[in-house]
Structure formats: C-alpha cells, structure tokens
C-alpha cells in the first residue's frame, strides 16, 4: 500500500489532503488522539493532546491541551477546505497507565482527558462517531487521508477499525 506515515507527536496537530498520507499517533497512553475527517473535501486531521485544559498564559491554539487543541484542529482543517459539520470525529487513548495504590488520585489524567474531549466536542455541537478510550493499555491510532479509515492498535492484539 503506497502510503507515507506522518507522525503526530505529543502536543501536535497534523492535517493533510494528500491521499497517500496516513496520520499516526504512536503509543498513546493517558494522551488523547482526536481524528477528524471530512469525506467530501477529503481532508484529514489529528490531534495528540497531553492534558485536559489549557492553563493561563499558554497559546490559545496549543495542541498540548484537549480544549485548545480541538479548536486548533478544527481551524487547521477548515483552512484546508473542510466543513465543520461534515466531519467524522473519532477519539482514542485516555488510558490510566498507573494502577498501583497511592498513584490513582494523581493519575486519572487519562479519564480527565477523555471527559475534556467529550465536553469540548459537545460544546462545539460535534458528535463522536466512534471511540476507543480508557482502560490500562497504550494505543497507536492511524487515520488514512485517502479513505478516512481510522484504526487502533494495542500491544498483543491486532489492528482494529474504529
């Protein structure tokens, strides 16, 4: 399959209308990956957010945070010709990596990231088509710009369609 993988690193937002591009967020743990695809304009975008809410004084379009990152993702997609209400949105990640006693309180970042993702999308009136969130395992997500297919891979299991 002729494709070129474009990694979406921590706190990054990548968009593309190149049909050969596959956007990939590798090894999402507590981080959340948000994939958005406009099937009409054939524009794909992905966000790899680290924390739920933007803190004061940070870039209002920072990809590091779920709330600002989703807005920045939408803006970048629209600049490539996507229409907001045509977007198919799928989310993955937000695992709780640490289960040891004593850490739980500190490490509900995965849950908080997922809640923030749902809340931000709800505020913007954008439905979530599919999700693979929570649990205790890391995930790699791929979004194919050609077809809009999105897949999730977990260690020890195959790649599944989202």
Partner 1 sequence: MNKPSENANNQPEITGLLVQMAEAGVTRAAAGLAGMLGQKVTVTQPNVRLMPLAEVPGVLGGPEQEAVGIYLQAVGELSGQIMLILPLAKAMELVDLLLDVEPGSTQALGSLERSALAEVGNITGTFFLNAVAAACGLHSRPSPPAVMVDMVGAILDIIVAMSAGVSETVLVIEAAFLRDDREVEAHFWVIPDNAALQGLAGAAGSNAR
Q: Choose the stretch contacting partner 1; rule: CB under 8 A; options: 73-81, 94-102, 114-122, 126-134.
A: 94-102
CA 91 to CA 46: how far, in whole Å?
10
- Of 21, 28, 72, 116, which one interacts with partner 1 (CB under 8 A)? 28
Q: How far is the CB of 10 from partner 1 (least distance, A)?
A: 6
Provide CB contacts within 8 A for 12, sequence distance 6+. 47, 48, 63
Beta strands in 8-129, from DSSP E residues, in sequence order: 13-16, 21-28, 32-38, 43-49, 88-93
Residue 31 annotated as catalytic: yes
Candidate list 6, 31, 87, 95, residue with the active-site label: 31
* Of 143, 123, 126, the residue nearest 87 (C-alpha): 126
Q: Name the residues that contact partner 1, by CB under 8 A.
A: 9-10, 26-31, 50-51, 55, 58, 64, 95, 97-103, 106-107, 109, 137-140, 153, 155
The catalytic site residues sit at 31
């Amino acid at each position: 399959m002729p494709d070129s993988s474009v990694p979406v690193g921590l706190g990054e937002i990548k968009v593309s209308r190149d049909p050969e591009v596959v956007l990939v967020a590798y090894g999402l743990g507590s981080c959340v990956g948000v994939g958005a695809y406009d099937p009409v304009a054939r524009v794909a975008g992905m966000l790899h957010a680290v924390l739920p809410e933007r803190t004061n004084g940070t870039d209002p379009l920072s990809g590091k945070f779920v709330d600002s990152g989703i807005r920045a993702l939408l803006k970048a997609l629209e600049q490539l010709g996507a229409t907001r209400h045509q977007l198919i949105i799928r989310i993955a990640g937000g695992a709780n990596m640490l289960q040891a006693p004593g850490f739980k309180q500190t490490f509900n970042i995965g849950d908080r990231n997922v809640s923030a993702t749902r809340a931000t999308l709800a505020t913007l009136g954008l439905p979530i088509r599919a999700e693979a969130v929570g649990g205790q395992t890391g995930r790699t997500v791929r979004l194919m710009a050609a077809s809009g297919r999105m897949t999730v891979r977990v260690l020890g299991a195959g790649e599944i369609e989202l």
